[in-house]
């Protein structure tokens, strides 16, 4: 049975380093811990918040309820074929550590997703993606516990309704399941994807001649480290907003006024980098009290030390307003606001 703590500080459990607290707090390390917790009076009488690495949440207040910290571990090969290997990961494993484990074993498919913060359990919830790859491309299935009934349910790829930074767990089934295990179908023969972003140029700069999944991972890590602050040094949750996908006519109109606008075709529409839009509005590197945007990437909102969640949220609203006024585009938050 998981130990339930009271009045627990959450500062070290969220990468924004917001000094908020939870009335109750429990860590679960196996599925049985979750089942037992569902029958506990504290769970039954209070609202709950499930967290992993805390890399995608903004705490705007103390949480008057039970915070459940998912620490379910484990990495296991459950099936192999000539071309693929199916690997099951505990939802409480650190995502980047799992990427490195796969690279070490020459299992391809998630090397472009290197250095994305957070735990494995959040990966399908967000349908994490970077540099031309999304989790749904390698996702096979996940196991999750219905937090109302205690039933364990298997979700296949199609069941998750994956979209751009979206899944069924962020809308229809929000707060209804705790993910325990995630199964990915990885490739024994790599299919390299270096066309997106600055990967190809970075590989050239690094002098890479023989392309490998490790070389791609190293390039992605270098790019991300050059753009994004280390949460241990500067509180942040990575990309705060989604890159908007807009009507191509609107994108063409903007590009006439801004010929250097970066863009990516997306299913008969156009994806525009949110960081570019925010930068054009003069926000890049701007400091507002104890918060602001990162000097190297306007898409990243930061805590310079003692910012509250409400101050960061207020800044995000101002950024949304300025982008809407200038470009007619409504930015959507990628970060979950609590």
Q: Transcribe 278-301 into DSSP letters.
A: HHHTT-TT-EETTEEEETTEEEEE
Q: What angle do CA 22, 26, 31 make, to 5 degrees?
A: 145
C-alpha span between 295 and 83 (Å, rounded): 43
55 has catalytic annotation: no
pLDDT in tens, the chain (338 residues): 678 999 999 999 999 999 999 999 999 999 999 999 999 999 989 999 999 999 899 999 999 999 999 999 999 999 999 999 999 999 999 999 999 999 999 999 999 999 998 999 999 999 999 888 999 999 999 999 999 999 999 999 999 999 988 999 998 999 899 999 999 999 999 888 887 768 878 887 888 888 899 999 999 999 989 888 888 889 999 899 999 999 999 999 999 999 999 988 888 899 999 999 999 999 999 999 999 999 999 999 999 989 999 999 999 999 999 999 999 999 999 899 99
> Annotated catalytic residue: which of 165, 167, 217, 316?
165
Which tokens hold the place of 180? 């325990």
Q: Which DSSP category does 16 fall into?
A: T
167 has catalytic annotation: no
189 has catalytic annotation: no
Closest by CA position to 10, among listed 73, 57, 43: 57
* Radius of gyration for the alpha carbons in the chain, expressed in angstroms and rounded: 20
CB within 8 A of 128, min separation 6: which ones?
95, 113, 116, 118, 122, 134, 135, 165
Let me know: does 93 contact 120? Beta carbons within 8 Å: yes
Q: 3-state DSSP helix/strand/coil percent for the chain, to nearest 5?
A: 30, 30, 40
Q: Which DSSP category does 166 fall into?
A: B
C-alpha span between 23 and 27 (Å, rounded): 14
C-alpha span between 61 and 184 (Å, rounded): 35
Burial class (CB in 10 A: 0-12, 13-18, 19+), 257: exposed
> Annotated catalytic residue: which of 88, 93, 134, 334?
334
Alpha helices in 68-212 (DSSP H): 95-104, 122-126, 199-205
Burial class (CB in 10 A: 0-12, 13-18, 19+), 106: middle
> Annotated catalytic residue: which of 55, 114, 217, 239?
239
């Amino acid at each position: 049975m998981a130990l339930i703590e009271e009045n627990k500080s959450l500062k070290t459990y969220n990468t924004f380093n917001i000094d908020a607290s939870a009335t109750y707090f429990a860590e679960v390390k196996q599925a049985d811990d979750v089942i037992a917790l569902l029958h506990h009076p504290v769970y039954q009488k209070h609202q709950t918040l499930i967290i992993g690495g805390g890399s995608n949440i903004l705490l705007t207040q103390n949480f008057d309820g039970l915070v459940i910290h998912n620490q379910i571990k484990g990495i296991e090969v459950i099936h192999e074929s000539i071309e693929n290997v199916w690997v099951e990961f505990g939802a409480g494993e650190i995502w980047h550590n799992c990427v490195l484990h796969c690279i070490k074993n020459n299992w391809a498919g998630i090397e472009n997703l290197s250095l994305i913060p957070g735990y494995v359990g959040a990966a399908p919830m967000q349908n994490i993606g970077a540099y031309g790859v999304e989790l749904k491309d390698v996702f096979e299935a996940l196991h999750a516990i219905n937090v109302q009934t205690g039933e364990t349910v298997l979700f296949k790829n199609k069941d998750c309704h994956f979209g751009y930074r979206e899944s069924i767990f962020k809308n229809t089934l929000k707060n209804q399941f705790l993910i325990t295990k995630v199964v990915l179908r990885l490739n024994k023969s790599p299919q390299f994807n270096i066309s997106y972003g600055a990967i190809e140029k970075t590989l050239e700069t690094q002098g890479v001649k023989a392309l490998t999944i490790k070389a791609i991972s190293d390039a992605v890590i270098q790019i991300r480290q050059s753009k994004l602050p280390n949460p241990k040094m500067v509180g942040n949750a990575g990309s705060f907003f989604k890159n908007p996908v807009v009507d191509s006519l609107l994108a063409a109109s903007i590009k006439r006024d801004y010929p250097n606008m970066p863009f990516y075709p997306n299913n008969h529409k156009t994806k525009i980098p949110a960081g570019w839009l925010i930068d054009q509005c003069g926000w890049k590197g701007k400091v507002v009290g104890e918060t602001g945007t990162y000097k190297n990437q306007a898409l990243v909102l930061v805590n310079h030390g003692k910012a509250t969640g409400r101050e960061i949220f207020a800044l995000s609203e101002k950024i949304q307003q300025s982008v809407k006024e200038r470009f007619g585009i409504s930015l959507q938050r990628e970060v979950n606001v609590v």
